[in-house]
Every structure is written in C-alpha cells, then in structure tokens.
C-alpha cells in the first residue's frame, strides 16, 4: 500500500466513524416524521439554515467558515451523546467529554487536517469570532423552529419553560440575527398561548 493509500484510508476511517452521528438521537422530532431526529440530520439542517439566514446576520460573516463550524460542532456527541440545551448539569464536564471525543475522532485523520477539525470545534465552543457567534445562534434557532412547527413537542416532553427558551436560546439569536430574534419573541408569545411549553 502506498503512502497516499494509507492517507486515503485515514480519511475514509474518519468518514465511517462520523456515520455514527446518525445514531445519536436528539430531543426534537422532524416536522413531518414521527421519530426523533438524529445529530447528523441536525448538523445538515442547521448548516442550511445558516446559509439561508445570512442576509439577516448582525455582523459580516464568512459563510463558508460558518458551515465548516456547523458541520463539526456536534461530532463529539458520537461518544458523549446529546443533551438538551436546557438540561442542568456540569457544563465544563460536558465540554471536556465532547472535546475528548472530538480529539479521538479527528485523530483518525492525518495532520494537519486532524488539528483543523479540533480547531473548528473549539472555535464554535468559544464563540469569540463573528462566525462562531452566528453558528451558535443558528444552532439554538433550529430546535426552536422545529418546536414551533410541532406544537412544542420537545418543550412539553422535557418540561421546558418559555423563560428558559428566552434566556438560553433567543438571547443568542437576537445578538447574531436581530430580526429572527424579534420574530421569535412574537412566535413564543403565540406558542405560550397555545400551551406549547412544559
């Protein structure tokens, strides 16, 4: 086997490993399907959401970087699993578990690509760049959109209150995408009147 074939095998091993993201179930159900979505579906959909919402971003962003961030942001869930954003617990411990998973999975790739994957994941977690803040806001927006179109399915199932959604998610959306945040505030009022919350 040549060196290029060995490198190719590393890339293929990475792709096969991240296929496991399809088996990580989230708390939301797709709009028209009676099953829980998986993290791979979420990553794909939130990347498209970010692309289409770019005209509403509060600051200039490099959309290609945003999409890269969103494609890798949940790969740590392969080992760590998915936890609803409103769950209480040790956030630092959770981040450490995910980072270890990202390092393991990215380590299947040759350098420097392995470091690139870890760097993208860390940039998303740190939210210090305009792209990471916007990507994070889109990651918070997507489950809200699903809940609004599923009569609050995961909010009701998990006892999530409107105030939690406002402080944990909508505040991030408002900062990165003000028009979407204002629209959400209106929609959440309607959702509260329709008893969408737990």
129-156 pLDDT, tens digit each: 999 999 999 999 999 999 999 999 999 9
Number of structural domains, the chain?
1
For the segment 122-128, the average pLDDT, to the nearest whole number, is 98
Residue 2 has pLDDT above 80, yes or no: no
pLDDT of 89 reads 81
Is residue 60 situated within a structural domain?
yes
Is residue 158 situated within a structural domain?
yes
Residue 3 has pLDDT above 80, yes or no: no
For the segment 62-85, the average pLDDT, to the nearest whole number, is 97
Is residue 64 situated within a structural domain?
yes
Per-residue pLDDT band for 195 (boundaries 50, 70, 90) equals very high
Is residue 46 situated within a structural domain?
yes
Residue 1 has pLDDT above 70, yes or no: no
Is residue 198 situated within a structural domain?
no
Query: How many degrees, rounded to 5, is the angle at CA 139 between CA 136 and CA 142?
Result: 150
Per-residue pLDDT band for 90 (boundaries 50, 70, 90) equals confident
Taking each helix axis from N to C end, the angle separating 63-72 and 130-148, rounded to the nearest 10 degrees, works out to: 60
pLDDT of 129 reads 98
Is residue 186 situated within a structural domain?
yes
Task: State the DSSP string of 68-127.
Answer: HHHHHTTTTHHHH----TT--S-HHHHHHHHHHHHHHHHTTSPTTHHHHHHHHHHHHHHT
Question: What's the mean pLDDT when you consider all of the chain?
Answer: 96
45-58 pLDDT, tens digit each: 999 999 999 999 99
Residue 41: CATH number of its domain: 1.10.3210.10
Is residue 67 situated within a structural domain?
yes
Find the domain containing 142 and state its range: 3-193
Distance, in Å, from the CA atom of 4 to the CA atom of 20, rounded to the nearest integer, reads 25
Residue 6 has pLDDT above 90, yes or no: no
Is residue 127 situated within a structural domain?
yes
> Taking the model in full, what pTM does it have?
0.95
Residue 170 has pLDDT above 80, yes or no: yes
Per-residue pLDDT band for 88 (boundaries 50, 70, 90) equals confident
């Amino acid at each position: 086997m040549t060196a290029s074939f060995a490198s190719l095998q590393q890339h293929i091993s990475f792709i096969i490993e991240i296929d496991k993201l399809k088996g990580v179930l989230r708390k939301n159900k797709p709009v028209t399907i009676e099953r829980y979505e998986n993290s791979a579906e979420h990553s794909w959909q939130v990347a498209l959401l970010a692309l289409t919402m770019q005209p509403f971003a509060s600051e200039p962003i490099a959309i290609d970087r945003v999409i890269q961030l969103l494609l890798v942001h949940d790969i740590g869930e392969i080992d760590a699993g998915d936890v609803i954003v409103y769950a209480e617990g040790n956030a630092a411990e959770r981040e450490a578990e995910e980072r270890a998973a990202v390092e393991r999975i990215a380590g299947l790739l040759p350098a420097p690509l392995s470091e690139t994957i870890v760097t993208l994941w860390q940039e998303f977690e740190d939210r210090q760049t305009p792209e990471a803040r916007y990507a994070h806001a889109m990651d918070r927006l997507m489950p809200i959109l699903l809940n609004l179109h599923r009569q609050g399915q995961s909010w009701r199932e998990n006892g999530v209150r409107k105030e939690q959604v406002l402080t944990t998610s909508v505040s991030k959306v408002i900062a990165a995408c003000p028009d979407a945040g204002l629209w959400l505030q209106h929609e959440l009022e309607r959702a509260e009147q329709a008893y969408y919350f737990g």
